[in-house]
Amino acid sequence: MENYWQNALNLEEYLQISEQRIHNNPNKNDEFQEYYELGLTRVNRTLKTYKIDSEQLSKANEKNFNGKILIISEPWCGDASATVPAVSKFFEATGNEVKIFLRDSDTTLIDQFLTNGARGIPIVIILNEDFSVKNSWGPRPKYGQELLKEFKANPETYSVDEFHNDLQVYYAKNRGKDAIEEILNLL
């Protein structure tokens, strides 16, 4: 884990990668190209509207967690655009270092944290001070998982467009609070 940590980015570097991929992507055949700008817009909205919850901050301080937070993500991911900035800002406020590892730069990390056999992101890895894995969370809060289950169970009556819309409305209103609460419960 320490090697992955050393090769991870801080939030500012992650946002720079996103900007680069929007304007001058070195991968001219990037299947996610159309999602970078939308993702960055959502990240910036989250950064602008996110407020640290004082009760969650107190809860974090009570846990006396001295480790690090490593997030596996990619800038094109819709779930990540709501979660990564909120989790980053929250744990930076608690004094814990946060870094973001690009999933597709080396898939050996995500392959250790598959979600039902898929490389779903974001994945938040809670690391102890010695870089051992304490726990992990992701790729979306429980409410988002319930929406996904509903879509998969009834795609004829609950379309992918409705699912995506409902999920983004939830993220916009929730502003990372549920994700942070679920992660705090794993500390």
Question: Considering the domain boundaries, does residue 173 fall inside one?
Answer: no
Question: Considering the domain boundaries, does residue 156 fall inside one?
Answer: no
Question: Considering the domain boundaries, does residue 159 fall inside one?
Answer: no
* pLDDT confidence band for 120 (50 / 70 / 90): very high
CATH code: domain of residue 6: 3.40.30.10
- pLDDT of 104 reads 95
Question: Considering the domain boundaries, does residue 165 fall inside one?
Answer: no
* pLDDT confidence band for 160 (50 / 70 / 90): very high
Question: Considering the domain boundaries, does residue 81 fall inside one?
Answer: yes
Half-sphere exposure of 112 (CA within 13 A, CB side): 11
Rounded to whole angstroms, what are the CA distances from 152 to 39, 113, 119, 145, 168? 23, 22, 17, 10, 17
State mean pLDDT over 63-84: 96
Q: Give the tens place of pLDDT for each residue, 124-155.
A: 999 999 999 999 999 999 999 999 999 999 99
Average pLDDT, the chain: 96
Whole-model pTM: value is 0.95
* pLDDT confidence band for 74 (50 / 70 / 90): very high
Domain count, the chain: 1
Question: Considering the domain boundaries, does residue 129 fall inside one?
Answer: yes
Question: Considering the domain boundaries, does residue 119 fall inside one?
Answer: yes
Q: Give the tens place of pLDDT for each residue, 22-71.
A: 999 989 999 999 999 999 999 999 999 999 999 999 999 999 999 999 99
Domain that includes residue 38, residue range: 2-139+179-184
Question: Considering the domain boundaries, does residue 152 fall inside one?
Answer: no
